[in-house]
Amino acid sequence: MGVFEMPNFQAGTRAIAEAVAQATARHGAYSLVGGGDSVAAIQQFGYADDVSYVSTGGGAMLELLEGKELPGVAAIDD
């Protein structure tokens, strides 16, 4: 993972994006990409349509994964 915006340093980020897309396509994994830089990378490499969900709310996504209750999610769960 690295400075994906620069060709000399994007190999790690590209490899992760490809692995996530392949896990989704080949193995039925649910893949969620979240946050500004992660979203930009997955879009730059052309994998945005190959993952299950792309979220621009990286911080909120991490809080949800931590088990915190998010007001918007709670409202639609009721």
Q: What is the pLDDT of residue 78?
A: 67
Q: What is the pTM of this model?
A: 0.77
Name 4's Cβ contacts closer than 8 Å, sequence gap at least 6: 10, 13, 14, 37, 40, 41, 44, 45
Q: What is the pLDDT of residue 57?
A: 83
Domains of the chain, residue spans:
7-77
Per-residue pLDDT of the chain (78 residues; tens, 9 = 90+): 789 999 999 999 999 999 999 999 999 999 999 888 999 999 999 999 999 999 888 888 888 889 999 888 788 876
* Residues facing 54 on adjacent strands: 33
Distance CA 58, CA 10 (A): 21
Q: What is the pLDDT of residue 58?
A: 83
Identify the three-state secondary structure at position 14: helix
